[in-house]
Amino acid sequence: MRGVVFMLTLLGSTTLSRAQHDELDIPEKDSTVKETVLSDIMRKGKVEGRFRQYSMATINQGELTDLYAIAFGGSLGFGSERWKGFQFKLSGGYTFDLVTSDLTKPDPSTGQLSRYELGLFDVTDPRKRNDVAYLQLFQLNYARERTRIVFGRQELNTPFLNPQDGRMHPSLFEGVWGAHTTKKGTHLEVGWLYKASPRSTASWYGIAESMSLYPTGVNVFGKPNSYGPLLRSAGIFAANIDHHFAKRLKISAWDLYVENIFNTALLQADLGKKEQRWMLSGQAVRQDAVTNAGGLNDSAAYMPAGSSSWAFSGRFRMDHGRFRWQANYTRVTARGRYLMPREWGRDPFFTFLPRERNEGLGDLHAATLNLIWRDLLPGLRLQTDGGVYWLPAPTNARLNKYAMPSYTQFDVNAQYQFQGGWKGLVIQLLYLVKLPLEDVALTPKQTYNRVDMHHLDLIINYTF
C-alpha cells in the first residue's frame, strides 16, 4: 500500500500545507501575486482512475484441482496541464483479494500451482494477495504536432511489448520512447527500455531479471531452464517504421534487440482500405540469438548460441456492416522455437486467442476463425472464436518449451459499454473451453490448466 499512500500524499500536499504552517513553511499564496507557471500547470491538471472487479474460475478434468478467485482493485493518477509541450504524469494501483482458493497449495497430482488465478495478484509470491500496491506511471512526456517523447515509467502497445491487460494491471516499462510522423505520413518509433513491471507482479525489475518471473519451461535438452538469475542485459532497444502506399497498402517493420540475448525482427503488410469490405494481412518474424545469451553455455542460455527461428502469420478479413469475420493462419517452422518473454506481452500472431500463447514453440501450425458482431444492441459487442493448434509432441523439448499438447480452443467474449450517466462502466464476460486435439494418453502435468478444461472470467471496469 506504500505506493498508493505516497501518491495520495503527493496529490494532497497542497491542502495539508495550508493546515500546518509554521515559520519554516512556504508562505500562503498571496492573491495579489501572479501565480507561478509551475503551480498553474499543476492546479489545472487532471485526476484519472479506474476501478476493476475481476472474477475468475477454472474447472479441470476429473480429480485435478478446480480454482477460483475474485479480486478488486484500481488505479489513481494525476496528469498536469501541458506546458510548451511538456506534461508530468504519476499513478499508482492496488489489488485486494475478496474470495479466493488457496493459491499457495499445489495440485496433489501434478505439484503445480494455479496458472491463471494467481495472475490476479503477484505471481512471484503466492502468499501476497491482500494489499498489493505498486507505482504504475511516473513520467515526463513531450508532445507537439507530430512528435511525442516519453521518459520514465509508461505503457506501450507494440507487437512484442504490450499491456496484455487481462489481469488487474497491464505490463509496464521504464525508459525513453519516442514517436514521430513525417509530413508524408511515415510513422517512426524508437526506444530504449531498462526496466519492466510485468502484468501479475507488484515490483519493477531490470530487463534481464524480468524474463524469468513466469514459469520458464525446459531447455532444448529437456531440463528445467536455469537462465533466470544468470542473464545480463543493458535493456531493450526497439525501432519501428510504418508507411502507407497509395492508401491501399501499409508496410510496418519492427526490430527488437535485447542486448546480449536475442534479436527479433517483424515485417507486416496490410492490403485494403476502410472503404473496402476486405483486408488481407501477412507478417514474417525472424529471431536470432545474440552471442550466446550472456556468455552462458547452451544448457543455461535463454536461446542457444547460433540458433534462429522463422514464423509466418496471415489473416483474411471481411466486413459486413456490423458483422465481421476473420480467418487466420500461423506457421512457426521447425528451424527452432519462437521465443519472447511472456512477461512483456502477448503473441503478435493473428491466431492468438485469450488465455493461451504459442510462444516457446517450433514446428507449429495454427488456424483460427473469429466471428465479431458490433452494436448488436447499443454498446454490446460479441465475439466467438475457434482455433486448432497442431504442436510438436510434448516430449520434443527442442521445439516445445512448455510441454504443451496439441489442442483446440473455443471461446465466447461479450462486452457491454454503458451509456449516458453510466458512461465509463464496462462489463465483460469470457468463457472458453480447451480440448486435446489428438487421441493420445497425456499425463496430469500435460493437461492440468492446459487442456480438458473450462475457464470463465467476469470483469467489471469503471474508468473516470
Do the Cβ atoms of 227 and 300 come closer than 8 Å? yes
- Map residue 441 onto helix, strand or coil: coil
Q: What percent of the chain has a predicted confidence (pLDDT) above 90?
A: 86
Query: Scanning the structure block, which residue is given the C-alpha cell 477460483?
Result: 68
**All domains of the chain in start order, with CATH:** 2-28+57-463 (2.40.160.10)
For residue 224, give Cα distances in angstroms to 212, 218, 289.
12, 4, 20
* Residue (of 456, 460, 385) closest to 415 by Cα position: 460
Is residue 458 predicted with pLDDT exceeding 70?
Answer: yes
pLDDT given for residue 9 in this prediction: 44
Quickly list DSSP for 1-53: -HHHHHHHHHHTHHHHHHHS--TTSPPPPPTTSPPPHHHHHHHT-EEEEEEEE
- The C-alpha atoms of residue 130 and residue 72 are separated, in whole angstroms, by 10
Instruction: Give, in degrees to the nearest 5, the angle at Cα 177 between 171 and 181.
Output: 120
Please indicate, yes or no, whether the overall pTM of this predicted structure exceeds 0.75: yes
pLDDT given for residue 131 in this prediction: 80
* Residue (of 322, 318, 440, 340) closest to 390 by Cα position: 440
pLDDT confidence tier of residue 35, bands split at 50, 70 and 90: low
Instruction: Give, in degrees to the nearest 5, the angle at Cα 42 between 37 and 46.
Output: 140
pLDDT given for residue 8 in this prediction: 41
Is residue 167 predicted with pLDDT exceeding 80?
Answer: yes
pLDDT digits (tens, 9 = 90+) for 292-309: 555 578 888 999 999 999
Q: What 8-state DSSP symbol labels residue 446?
A: H
Other CB atoms within 10 Å distance of the CB of residue 24: 5
pLDDT given for residue 38 in this prediction: 86
User: What sign has the CA pseudo-torsion 206, 51, 156, 401?
Assistant: positive
Based on the number of CB atoms within 10 Å of its own CB, is 343 exposed (0-12), middle (13-18) or buried (19 or more)? buried
- The C-alpha atoms of residue 52 and residue 459 are separated, in whole angstroms, by 7
Query: Scanning the structure block, which residue is given the C-alpha cell 499491456?
Result: 163
pLDDT confidence tier of residue 274, bands split at 50, 70 and 90: confident
Is residue 227 predicted with pLDDT exceeding 70?
Answer: yes
User: What sign has the CA pseudo-torsion 197, 97, 58, 49?
Assistant: negative
Query: Which is higher by pLDDT, 295 or 161?
Result: 161
Other CB atoms within 10 Å distance of the CB of residue 388: 15
What the block records as the C-alpha cell of 174 is: 521504464
Do the Cβ atoms of 414 and 380 come closer than 8 Å? yes
Instruction: Give, in degrees to the nearest 5, the angle at Cα 248 between 243 and 250.
Output: 30
pLDDT digits (tens, 9 = 90+) for 49-59: 999 999 999 99
* Residue (of 347, 353, 281, 361) closest to 317 by Cα position: 281
For residues 309-328, average pLDDT:
97
Quickly list DSSP for 165-207: -SSSS--EEEEEEEEEE-TTS-EEEEEEEEEEE-TT-SS-EET
What the block records as the C-alpha cell of 185 is: 505520413
Based on the number of CB atoms within 10 Å of its own CB, is 200 exposed (0-12), middle (13-18) or buried (19 or more)? buried
pLDDT digits (tens, 9 = 90+) for 197-206: 999 999 999 9
Q: What 8-state DSSP symbol labels residue 346?
A: -
Question: Percentages helix, strand, coil for the chain, rounded to the nearest 5?
Answer: 10, 45, 45
Average pLDDT, the chain: 91
pLDDT confidence tier of residue 231, bands split at 50, 70 and 90: very high
* Residue (of 402, 364, 381) closest to 285 by Cα position: 364
- The C-alpha atoms of residue 42 and residue 352 are separated, in whole angstroms, by 42
